[in-house]
Amino acid sequence: MTTFTVNDMTCGHCASTINKAVHDVDAAAKVEIKLDQKQVVIDSAVDAEEFAAAIKDAGYTPVAV
């Protein structure tokens, strides 16, 4: 389980973009986006750094929790 705080995730569109970025890395990942807490929780065997890079490439700033 990997959790990121993404303070620049402010709306549903942001959440959708991040969700797509995560699934581009691992299509089978389970993703829970807590928009009100600005958190992205990912259940996947893929390394957290790959998800962090994908979220950054999507234009956001993930911080591992």
Q: Which CATH code is given to the segment(s) 2-64?
A: 3.30.70.100
Q: Look up the pTM and report it.
A: 0.95
Domain ranges of the chain: 2-64
Residue 24, pLDDT score: 98
Segment 3-48, tens digit of pLDDT: 999 999 999 999 999 999 999 999 999 999 999 999 999 999 999 9
Tokens 């993404």, located at residue: 6
Segment 41-63, tens digit of pLDDT: 999 999 999 999 999 999 999 99
The secondary structure element, H or E, covering residue 12 is helix 12-25
